[in-house]
Amino acid sequence: MKMTKNKNIIVSILFVVLVIIGTVSITVFSRDVHESYALDLRITNAQIANGSDVVSIRATAGAAPIVGYYVGTSDNINSATFYPARNQNTYSVSLINGTYHFWVKDGAGKVAKYAQTITISKSCSSDFVSNAKGDGTSKHCYYTSDGKYLEETKSEQLITCANGYQRDQSKTTVIENSCASLDATSIRNMGVSKKVCYQIWSYSCVPTGGGNAGDALSVLNATTSNDWTNGNKEIVVTAKKGSANIAGYYISTNSNRPDGGANWNASNSTTWTTSQGAGTYYIWVKDESGHISSNYKSVTVSKIETAAPHIDSVIPSSINKNLTINASDEGGSGIAGYYISSENSAPNLSSDWNNSNANSYTIEKEPGTYYIWVKDVAGNISAGKTATIATANTTSNNSLASLSIKDMELTPEFNPDTTEYTATASVSKAVIDATLQDSNASFVKNFGPRTVNLKSGVNNVLIKVKNAKDEIKEYKIKITYNGRASNVASARLKSLTLNSGNLTFDPDITEYRMYVPRSLEKLEVNAVAEDNNAEVKVENPETLEIGDNKVTITVTATDGTSTVYTLNIIKKETDQISTNNYLKSLTITGYDIEFARDVQEYKISLGNRTYLNVNAVAEDSNAEVTIDNTKYLTKDSVVHVMVRAEDGSARIYTILLNKSKITVWQIILIIIGIIFLLLVIAYVVLKLMGYSIYINFGVIKDFFINLFRRNKDDD
């Protein structure tokens, strides 16, 4: 075919387009394939060893060494337990019966998951007993790292008597313990992180009102004051007698039911008073026939503070004729008042106090010497301090009379003429106290006595004193602190447990809803902060009312930031609390997924969408369903659907989003298809232009012959 100029232009354009599309396609797809196979950390094998409770894990690592393994009963790493195992490519862990997922983590923070799951069926299963009558036994499985329980097991969780029956606590005992002879050394020699053990409990469910308690003999209530105090508190107990008169009361720090030979307090009254320190107490009553009440009442004594508050600094001002007192109370009850006197005579609680709950207090005073004390809400009184307000006149004195830091030693020892000091801190706060030689002088704002949050390393702290002529003198303190810096303080909870239900806690979730039974009188909250220096304040109603109750937990970090966790507690009119946290249905508009209540992970292809319409309905109408944000999604997004049951336990269903990966063969087929399409287009265009098209194989042959001949001639 003879090529004209127009033909050459058209063919050249088609060739350039083909090269550009092919080059871009190969570059993009090659990069995608390369990234898909860039794996250097993975679990290569996980299998049951020893035929029972031990799972052996094998992993490979890349440049960063392995630091540990995650093991969980759901496909959610946030609920898994982390086992440190530095530089160990093989690891063994002992587990009770169940299905488990495994992850490995390296020092660079990468986490890889084992693609399969392991189900253990020949280990240990707990035997929970319900509707029991008479005598029997119950088996409970647990983990140990030293031959002992890792957590207390309550027999109430293992054994439930039938209606009309009650447990005889004196016969609820452990009769067999498979790990009783183990210690920490022997367990380490097994080569596993924890050992599965079990205990066998004996029990006896006897008819209500017969054998152990007289008819209707019971403890009705146990109450104590919620006010702050610096000594023991009174507990008032009321009881109801049955067929025989009351003979005594028994108080204990645990819930184990006493027997008739225990250390009972004799009393024939239905109301009884005892004085106790801080703690939780359990109280039973018995009658003259020797019957012991089948129930007990528990009461928690708190808000007892014995540590006195502290006066951080007293700043006199001759110009303003006043005293500014800065105080703190680390015990928790807070400042309640200030006592200022011109006589050095310590006050008592009935003295004429200036009532104020502020940590800083300013009072007008004429020139003179004054003695200052501060008290807290619990009734503790601080040590006294002295300050002098001088007659106002113009002086040039801008020196300190004293300089100190609480629980630290200054180097060198303080001298008014020495302006540079060093100190070493063991805590993240420095409480600085300083007084002036001349009451006409003053501290520069923000540079006087104060509390300083320390960062890790060297901290430069300045104290600036200004005399009546506005001349400023600086004292410099270099404080070295090698602990955790206060600027990375945490205001989050590490754990949150309650005396009812089975709350699934996540530090990132700050609001919870759960139900409690009618029989629960008070919710006991145990909140532990991530940072030991953070303050945790729990606002909890004394008694739970039927219906809605609100509990707030405020965590305040050392840098002043705070997080508030809210518990919406609903007290039911019955004792039946549902544990059902399953979904009844899960649908996604535009997608056909095969939903099953026990399947917690689903994968869909997002395509070009950026949002999903997810609908989820719980099996239990009282369960709460929350769905992650389903807008602005990408192929790396994960949508979580959480179902929280009445008892607070939660189950999380996960929707994984992805875009279909193109394989190498698909890339080749796409390129061939593009070339074929371009040839078809070129053929059609040339035909429309009136050209006859044929393939001259001779020309092609001559092209390659001349090409190789030219290369040879070049040599």
Domain ranges of the chain: 5-36+663-714, 42-120, 129-207, 218-301, 312-334+358-375+393-484, 489-571, 583-658
What angle separates helix 664-688 from helix 5-36, to the nearest 10 degrees?
A: 170
* pLDDT score recorded for residue 157: 62
Class of domain 42-120: mainly beta
Q: Both tokens of residue 3?
A: 């090529």
- Residue-by-residue DSSP string for 590-625: TB-----TT--EEEEE-TT-S---EEEEESSTTSEE
Alpha carbon 431 to its chain centroid, in Å, reads 29
Residue 331: pLDDT band with limits 50, 70, 90: confident
* Residue ranges with strand state E in 467-582: 472-481, 493-498, 511-516, 525-529, 535-539, 547-556, 562-571
Most confident of 166-175, 260-269, 500-509: 500-509
Q: What Rg value do the Cα atoms of the chain yield, rounded?
A: 38
Q: What single DSSP character describes residue 411?
A: B
The CATH architecture that domain 489-571 belongs to is Sandwich (2.60)
How many Å apart are CA 377 and CA 399, to the nearest integer? 36
Q: Give me the pLDDT at residue 35, please.
A: 30
Instruction: Work out the burial of residue 486: count CB atoms within 10 Å of its CB; fewer than 13 is exposed, 13-18 middle, 19 or more buried.
Output: buried
* For residue 436, pLDDT beyond 50: yes
CA atoms of 158 and 135, how far apart (whole Å): 14
Give the architecture-level CATH label for domain 583-658.
Answer: Sandwich (2.60)
Phi and psi based region of residue 632 (left: phi greater than 0; alpha: psi -120 to 50; beta: remaining): left
CATH topology of domain 312-334+358-375+393-484: Immunoglobulin-like (2.60.40)
Instruction: Please write the tens of the pLDDT for every residue from 677-693.
Output: 888 887 788 778 766 66
Those residues whose C-beta lies under 8 Å from the C-beta of residue 668, and which sit 6 or more positions away, are none
pLDDT bucket at 3, cuts 50 / 70 / 90: very low
Dump pLDDT digits (tens) for 612-660. Answer: 889 999 999 899 998 887 777 776 778 899 999 999 999 999 998 875 5
pLDDT at 37: 30
Q: Is the pLDDT at 1 greater than 60, yes or no?
A: no
The predicted structure's pLDDT at residue 476: 94
Dump pLDDT digits (tens) for 135-162.
Answer: 888 888 877 765 555 544 444 567 888 8
Contact 85, 91 (CB under 8 A): yes
- pLDDT value at residue 146: 59
Contacts 24+ apart (CB under 8 A), 679-687: 681/14, 682/10, 682/11, 682/14, 685/10, 686/7, 686/10
Q: How many CB atoms lie within 10 A of CB 602?
A: 19
Whether the predicted pLDDT of 24 surpasses 50: no
* pLDDT mean across residues, the chain: 81
**Is there a contact between 237 and 273 (Cβ–Cβ < 8 Å)?**
yes
Q: Is the pLDDT of residue 664 over 70?
A: no
Decide which of 3.40.50.300, 3.40.50.12160, 1.10.150.250, 2.60.40.10 is the CATH code for 218-301: 2.60.40.10
Q: Is the pLDDT of residue 210 over 80?
A: no
Residue burial 615-633, b: 16+ Cβ < 10 Å; e: rest: ebebeeeebbbebeeeeeb
Check residue 214 and give its pLDDT.
41
Distance from the Cα of residue 121 to its chain's centroid? 32
Higher-pLDDT residue of 334 and 24 is: 334
Residue 107 in contact with residue 65, Cβ under 8 Å?
A: yes
Which pLDDT band holds residue 317 (cuts at 50, 70, 90)?
confident
Report the range of poorest mean pLDDT among 111-115, 205-209, 463-467, 640-644: 205-209
pLDDT for residue 184: 64
User: Hey, do 218-301 and 312-334+358-375+393-484 end up sharing a CATH topology, with the first three levels equal?
Assistant: yes
Predicted structure pTM score: 0.35
Query: What pLDDT, in 10s, does the model give residues 570-621?
Result: 999 998 999 999 999 999 988 888 999 999 999 888 777 778 889 999 999 8
Q: Distance between CA atoms of 575 and 516, rounded to whole angstroms?
A: 8
Q: Smallest Cα–Cα separation from 172: which of 190, 154, 148?
A: 154
Report pLDDT for 27.
36
pLDDT at 198: 83
